[in-house]
A and B are shown apart, each in its own frame.
Chain A
Amino acid sequence: MNCLEFRRQILGEPFSKLAGLAEHRLLCPPCSQFASKVQTFEIGIKEAAHLQVPESLASRILLRQRMAQRRQSFWRRGMWAIAATVVLTVGITLRVFMTPELGLEASVFAHIEKETNHLHAHNNVSLAEVNQKMQKYGVQLSHVVATVNFASPCPMRKDKGFHLVFQGESGPVTVLIMPNDHIGSRLATTDQRYQAVILPTKNGSMAIVADNATDLAQMETRLMSALQFQS
């Protein structure tokens, strides 16, 4: 390494550990003096560059980061809540609109299961009152077939119909008048708890449901002679 190379290197990196520098410095007093001056100057530059930093700079940086993070997590939680609401709404909507329609038999049993409280009603509704309520649905009873414990309009599978609960010999017997829900011929069916017959009527169908075959048969016979359907 010659003097020019040494001085250029020292001026570029005053404290360089490059191979050959130390050796040249030992052998060349003028370059050694040059290096000493540059290094002293370099220490001065370092001290001059070392400005006083604004008080609490680090604390302010950390504070800003924490605040930003809090805002971010707040919005993230908010977005999660919105997303959850959207998913729930879509789920409910899909469930409502995409649930497959029950068959007629299943819908009859489901209706009774859903409204089992009516099986325990004891309203003792008069024949006149029953006929008045059923008039709108084109159905009338010509005479009393049994005590009527419950009589009320009720939404059926296809249309609004009528829900009756008679007192059978050994338990309640339900009759569902189902307008616009047609069936070709009499259908006898059962589920785990009830026995039922579904009969075609002039404007739809009618189901008679009891928890035993005797009450069912008895009520079917009585109703066939008493019920009058108007078209």
Chain B
Amino acid sequence: MNDRSNSQMNNAHETFEAMVNAYSADLYRYAYWLTKDSALAEDMVQETFMRAWKALNSLLDHKAAKYWLFTILRREIARHYGKERHKMVSYETDEELDYWLEVDPGPTQVEKWALQRAMAEVPAEYLEPLLLQVIGGYSCDEIGEMLDTTSGAIMTRVCRARQKLRKVLEGDESHSKKKVKT
């Protein structure tokens, strides 16, 4: 391998490592909320980065890396669940949520746990654009482009997601608090 090839390979490694360090956590969170399975979420993030590594040459603008990675991950999730994807993301059991109750049980966490419980109850159709907004930091226009729909449709879906969260939270508040105390 000549010096030029070595240099190109080193650059690729640096780019890839920077991408992993910058985005793997957010990608994992996004995958987790859509799968509700930690191991599966990690597998999907790993696979996403492996695909990204193989196609790194096609990434011409590094500023687009995050959007590119989210797109790859979305395809991974879609590939895994196929047409059944939205059915897979449904209500989570109390036992699965107990994990969150075991972590740092302090009074400031009550609302967070309640919200997490509520998020688990929001249908994926509404949750996905909300996650892209909250975790990915994308605008409705960008999410619309990513999900191949209009900005208006995304606006409606994220509004519904927030309203759904609010309703679940209001109805579930007492249950969550009760759960924390146990």
Q: What residues make up the interface of A, taking CB atoms closer than 8 Å to B?
A: 8-9, 11-13, 38, 41-42, 44-54, 57-58, 60-62, 64-65, 68-69
Q: Are B162 and A13 in contact (CB under 8 A)?
A: no
Q: What residues make up the interface of B, taking CB atoms closer than 8 Å to A?
A: 16-17, 20-21, 24-25, 28-29, 32-33, 38, 42, 45-46, 49-50, 53, 103, 111-113, 115-116, 119, 130-131, 133-135, 139-140, 154-156, 158-159, 162-163, 165-166
Q: A48-B112, A48-B115, A49-B119 are in contact. Are A62 and B17 (CB under 8 A)?
A: yes
19 contacts between A and B (CB under 8 A): A13-B133, A13-B139, A13-B155, A41-B166, A44-B115, A45-B115, A45-B134, A49-B131, A51-B28, A53-B24, A53-B25, A53-B29, A54-B42, A57-B42, A57-B45, A58-B24, A60-B46, A61-B46, A65-B50
Task: Give the 6 A-B residue pairs with the shortest CB-CB distance, closest first.
Answer: A48-B115, A12-B155, A11-B159, A53-B25, A48-B116, A61-B49
Give min CB distance, B22 to chain A, whole Å.
9
Give min CB distance, A13 to chain B, whole Å.
6
Q: Which residue of B lies closest to A38 (CB)?
A: B162
Contact partners of A58 in chain B: CB under 8 A: 20-21, 24-25
Contact partners of B119 in chain A: CB under 8 A: 45, 48-49
Q: Are B50 and A64 in contact (CB under 8 A)?
A: yes
Contact partners of A50 in chain B: CB under 8 A: 29, 135
Contact partners of B28 in chain A: CB under 8 A: 51, 53-54, 57
Q: Which residue of B lies closest to A72 (CB)?
A: B54
* Total A-B pairs, Cβ < 8 A: 91
Query: Could you tell me the dominant secondary structure of chain B's interface residues?
Result: helix
Q: A12-B155, A51-B32, A58-B21 are in contact. Are A68 and B50 (CB under 8 A)?
A: yes
Q: Which residue of B lies closest to A13 (CB)?
A: B140
Q: A12-B140, A51-B32 are in contact. Are A57 and B50 (CB under 8 A)?
A: no
Cα(A45)–Cα(B127), bound, Å:
11
Residue from A8, A38, A49, A54 whose CB has the most chain B CB atoms within 10 Å: A49
Give min CB distance, B94 to chain A, whole Å.
17
Q: Which residue of B lies closest to A52 (CB)?
A: B103
Contact partners of B131 in chain A: CB under 8 A: 49
Give min CB distance, A215 to chain B, whole Å.
59
Cα(A57)–Cα(B41), bound, Å:
11
Give min CB distance, A193 to chain B, whole Å.
46
Q: Which residue of A lies closest to B29 (CB)?
A: A51
Give min CB distance, A44 to chain B, whole Å.
5
Cα(A13)–Cα(B161), bound, Å:
12
Cα(A136)–Cα(B150), bound, Å:
97
Residue of A41, A49, A65, A68 near B29 (CB, 8 A) is: A49
Q: Are A8 and B155 in contact (CB under 8 A)?
A: yes
Give min CB distance, B30 to chain A, whole Å.
9
Cα(A68)–Cα(B53), bound, Å:
10
| Extra contacts besides A49-B131, A51-B32 (11): CB < 8 Å | A8-B159, A9-B155, A12-B156, A45-B115, A45-B162, A48-B116, A51-B29, A54-B38, A57-B45, A60-B42, A61-B20
Q: Are B159 and A12 in contact (CB under 8 A)?
A: yes
Give min CB distance, B35 to chain A, whole Å.
12
Cα(A12)–Cα(B158), bound, Å:
6
Residue of A9, A12, A46, A61 near B134 (CB, 8 A) is: A46
